[in-house]
Amino acid sequence: MMQRMHAILSRFSRSQAKQRRERMINNVLVKSVNTNANGTSGYTVKNGPNKGKVLGHITVKHPNKSYE
């Protein structure tokens, strides 16, 4: 009984360690997007048919400004 549980626990431990290493590698390899660059409050698309568009643009309506 103990050997069977040991095998199961060691296999689980190895798989968890492998997943943890993969997550750490992904964090290092993924570059963050350049948000709030050049005065925008979103991400500007650099390539493709939507080049130059700002995605996720955040706007705040101020109570002291009138919007038409």
> Domain extents for the chain?
1-30, 34-68
pTM for the complete prediction? 0.41
Mean per-residue pLDDT, 26-52: 73
* Cα first-last separation, the chain: 75
Which two three-digit tokens encode residue 38? 């050049």
- Given its phi and psi angles, is residue 10 left (phi above 0), alpha (psi -120 to 50 degrees) or beta? alpha
Alpha carbon separation from 46 to 21, 35, 37, 52 (Å, rounded): 31, 12, 12, 6
**Secondary structure class of 44 (helix, strand, coil):** strand
Question: pLDDT band for position 55 (50/70/90)?
Answer: confident
**pLDDT in the model for residue 17:** 95
Mean per-residue pLDDT, 42-57: 80
